[in-house]
A and B are shown apart, each in its own frame.
Chain A
Amino acid sequence: EDKVVQSPLSLVVHEGDTVTLNCSYEVTNFRSLLWYKQEKKAPTFLFMLTSSGIEKKSGRLSSILDKKELFSILNITATQTGDSAVYLCAVAVSAGSARQLTFGSGTQLTVLP
């Protein structure tokens, strides 16, 4: 059975701190790994990673994938209260010609002013 495990489950930091969120996976037919941010409602897409060792960056957020060790990290620098959300990691696996996403349980990040 495909498994995606995120840690920590929750994190409380102060504005300006840097955080690292972890995602490890055990899946068959890996295709890519995705990070989503979920605030009140719908998850919003952040990054998709397919190659090992190549960092994806968007502003204060960055992510990297290690396909040998089967994990990814999401870094957020200089955190702001608006970064408070659940961060979801998902792994896309092949399902015939389709790609099926398996999600981790998420990391709840709370940034205090």
Chain B
Amino acid sequence: DSGVTQTPKHLITATGQRVTLRCSPRSGDLSVYWYQQSLDQGLQFLIQYYNGEERAKGNILERFSAQQFPDLHSELNLSSLELGDSALYFCASSVGQGGPEQYFGPGTRLTVT
């Protein structure tokens, strides 16, 4: 158990809908990272927040957005969902903004039907 928690574990929704994934980092970690893992793309970095501020952006679609709250938990919002958005979404955390040693949560499996 890494100490990073994610909810929900599974999510099934329809195309065009909007969902919110939630992540709580390990105690003491200020950075939160979001990743998408699909069969054909592997593990792809989406976005990083450090102490409430966006720090780095990867291959995140415009339909996706994230934020980190004062209590350091983070939410990833996915809107106008498409079938291709079906994937495992991981959150990871690290102490500093530079990581790089990141600890991963158990993931949220999103299925878009």
| Tally of chain B residues near chain A (CB < 8 A) | 26
Asked, given contacts A98-B50, A102-B45, A104-B42, whether A42 binds B97 with beta carbons under 8 Å apart, the answer is no
**A48 CB contacts on chain B under 8 angstroms:** 100-101
Which residues of chain A are within 8 angstroms of B68 by Cβ–Cβ distance? Answer: none
- How far is B106's CA from A41's CA once the two chains are assembled, in angstroms? 6
B43 contacts the other chain (CB 8 A): yes
- Contact indicator per residue, chain A 80-97, by CB within 8 Å of chain B (1) or not (0): 000000001010100111
Cβ contact within 8 Å between A96 and B45: no
Contact B101 A42 (CB under 8 A): no
Q: Judging by beta carbons under 8 Å apart, are B42 and A43 in contact? A: no
- B39 CB to nearest chain A CB (Å): 10
Contact A100 B56 (CB under 8 A): yes
A103 contacts B55, C-beta separation under 8 Å = no
Closest chain-A Cβ to B36's Cβ sits at a distance in Å of 11
* Residue-wise interface mask of B (27-63) relative to A, using a CB-CB cutoff of 8 A (1 in contact, 0 not): 0000101000000001111001010000110100000
Main secondary structure, interface of A, reads strand
Q: Can you report 29 A-B residue pairs in the complex whose CB atoms are below 8 A from each other?
A: A32-B100, A34-B101, A42-B4, A42-B90, A42-B105, A45-B102, A45-B103, A48-B100, A95-B55, A95-B56, A96-B56, A97-B55, A97-B97, A97-B98, A98-B31, A98-B48, A98-B55, A98-B98, A99-B97, A100-B48, A101-B33, A101-B45, A101-B99, A101-B102, A102-B45, A103-B45, A104-B42, A105-B42, A106-B42
Of chain B, the residue at the smallest CB distance from A48 is: B101
Binding site for B on A (CB under 8 A): 31-32, 34, 36, 41-45, 48, 88, 90, 92, 95-106
Question: A78 CB to closest chain B CB, in angstroms?
Answer: 26
Question: Are B42 and A44 touching (Cβ within 8 A)?
Answer: no
Do the beta carbons of A42 and B55 come within 8 Å of each other?
Answer: no
How many Å lie between the Cα of A101 and that of B31 in the bound state?
Answer: 13
Q: How far is the CB of A23 from chain B (nearest CB, A)?
A: 13
Chain A positions within 8 Å of B58 at CB level:
100
Residue of A nearest to B54 (CB): A98
Known: A98-B55, A100-B58. A44 touches B104 (CB 8 A): yes
